[in-house]
Amino acid sequence: MMMKFSRLGVPVLLLLLAGCGGGGGGGSELVPTVSATPPQASVAPPADDSNTGKDKPTFSADYLELFDTGKMHSITIAITEDEWNGLLNDINANPRSEIFRRADFVYGAGTATEQVANVGFRLRGNIFSRQRPEAGSGPHDPDNSLRRVHFRIKFNEQFQDSESVYGLPSQEVPTLVENKNRDFRSVRSLNLKYNKNDPTYVREVYSYDLLNRFGAMTLRQAYTRLHIKIGDEPVRYMGVYLMGEHVDKTWAQRRFGKNGFVFKSLYQGFGPADLAAADFDHNIESGKIGSEITDPAFASIGFDAYRPAYDLKTKKKDFLEGETYLNELIGMLNGNPTQQMLEDLIDIRSLLRAQAVNVFLGNWDDYWRNGNNYYLVRNPNDGKWVFVPYDYDIVLFDSIWAFSNIADASFLRWGDDRLSGDPVLMEKVLAFADFRDEYAGYVAELLADDSEFASLTAVRTRLQELQSVVAPHVSGYDAIDPEPYNDDLSAIEDFVRDRIAAARREIAF
């Protein structure tokens, strides 16, 4: 059996009331204890309703309940002190560390709890949002405050990295091959984000909720209370987090019935992911199309990480096939495509619905203005590329960072005032009157006075509903928070009112 080093044994899960430590915001939480027992070769089985990999994930009741925005969910992460120190060492050595540390996961909704042992746990986010998750420096100190940072949970992590990433001293433990097809409520990963940039706690959850209701392809997100328990210390309440779906194999299977090529597209070292330059060299180490390579060793001295603009996340063994398909799309967009050629390779309906919502929200850190923050997923059934936007923590602001007067910006020429890139996808699609009229129709459907989606009344009602879920849980947390809660929605309402007026100047509805 393949062996490697780790700092954590397989813990024994016990349910204890956590009222003795932390847990603010009202109510007690069920959390596991973490044992210091020697490592075992077995792993706790998935929850009874977890998908084992034999059945394709669907929009099951359990899945939909997991992302129900009408309730406050609860997650507890229990981790040994040694493994927490490993997490601190990882982030100190490399702020972009992708190393997963072992932890135990407990999910609660109401009085019921579900447990999964030995999940992968690490920080996530870009270089601006990744910080050391504990105040101070050096190893863990129980007197230090924790910081609200973004995390990722991976249920099918097998911990197969080279032993060099785990450091010494350590214990030999088997790779957990049993985790390979494990998921939780038919998702293999969850992303946990704190409300960076948004004291109202509603912007990002509202954005995904609107995209889903409007028929765009995107991910799902809901609210959760997050608790972290380090070793034998009392549980610490980290406050309300955003719990989001990860775009991966199960995401594709749920929507298409089978896996497809999923490319995460970001502005990276190669520049914007604007689809304006082909990549025909088939070189995984230098091309803009590839699969991210980071952290080959714990100490990455002299290692130049590879972060492609189009990062393949699924079907990596078939990389050359996926690259060929993506280059076909890029080549077509940089030529003189006909309307039919665009229809044949792109899911136009989903693209235009997503962009109508995106532009209404004022998301400038997107494909159209910055060549950033989207997935391209090839539908394996019809060969069309599906545009999947994500990252909505800076929307519904009139002025933020790179731009001001966002509320007055054009819907039809959104990309004219851009930060970077050459948005050939939107330029080529909207060059055709049929597609331009279709896009305008979606904007009108979205913003009409009687619209259930984004009329001023609909937006106000939905935001108030979301805040009613959040408000009882935003106090009493034990973590450093750069953005304390503020329930004032007036700035968002002003923005929506101005966006609707801007749309009416261009589109009759």
Question: For the residues 36-53, what does the mean pLDDT come to?
Answer: 34
In this model, does residue 83 exceed pLDDT 70?
Answer: yes
Residues forming beta bridges with residue 388, ordered by sequence position = 375
**Cα 358 to Cα 370: distance, rounded to the nearest angstrom:** 13
Q: How confident is the model at residue 47 (pLDDT cuts 50, 70, 90)?
A: very low
Q: How confident is the model at residue 291 (pLDDT cuts 50, 70, 90)?
A: low
Question: For the residues 41-60, what does the mean pLDDT come to?
Answer: 51
pTM of the model: 0.87
Sign, Cα dihedral of 245, 191, 221, 14: positive
Instruction: For the beta carbon of residue 245, count every other beta carbon within 10 angstroms.
Output: 23
In this model, does residue 12 exceed pLDDT 70?
Answer: no
**Inter-helix orientation angle 433-447/490-506, to 10°:** 140
Lowest mean pLDDT among 67-71, 82-86, 347-351, 396-400: 396-400
**319-346: pLDDT as tens digits:** 889 999 999 999 999 999 999 999 999 9
In this model, does residue 184 exceed pLDDT 50?
Answer: yes
What pLDDT, on the 0 to 100 scale, is given for residue 286? 52
CA atoms in the 13 A half-sphere facing the CB of 131: 16
User: Quick one: what percent of the chain has pLDDT higher than 70?
Assistant: 81
What pLDDT, on the 0 to 100 scale, is given for residue 287? 62
Q: How confident is the model at residue 465 (pLDDT cuts 50, 70, 90)?
A: very high
Q: How confident is the model at residue 279 (pLDDT cuts 50, 70, 90)?
A: low
Strand blocks (E) in 96-169: 101-109, 112-123, 146-147, 151-154
DSSP state of 421: S
Q: How confident is the model at residue 30 (pLDDT cuts 50, 70, 90)?
A: low
In this model, does residue 193 exceed pLDDT 50?
Answer: yes
**97-110: pLDDT as tens digits:** 888 999 999 999 87
Entry field: residues in the chain? 509
What pLDDT, on the 0 to 100 scale, is given for residue 119? 96
**Phi first, then psi: what are they for 174, rounded to 5°?**
-75, 150
What's the chain's average pLDDT?
Answer: 85
**352-364: pLDDT as tens digits:** 999 999 999 999 9
**128-176: pLDDT as tens digits:** 678 899 999 999 999 999 999 999 999 999 887 644 455 544 445 558 8
Task: Specify the amino acid at residue 455.
Answer: S
DSSP-based three-state secondary structure for 414: helix
Spell out the residues 6+ positions from residue 330 whose beta carbon is closer than 8 angstroms to its own. 275, 276, 277, 278, 279
The owner of tokens 């002190």 is 81
Do residues 387 and 347 touch, judged by C-beta distance below 8 A? yes
DSSP-based three-state secondary structure for 83: helix
What pLDDT, on the 0 to 100 scale, is given for residue 429? 99
**Cα 153 to Cα 188: distance, rounded to the nearest angstrom:** 8
In this model, does residue 295 exceed pLDDT 70?
Answer: no
**470-489: pLDDT as tens digits:** 999 998 888 987 778 999 99
What pLDDT, on the 0 to 100 scale, is given for residue 178? 85
What pLDDT, on the 0 to 100 scale, is given for residue 196? 85
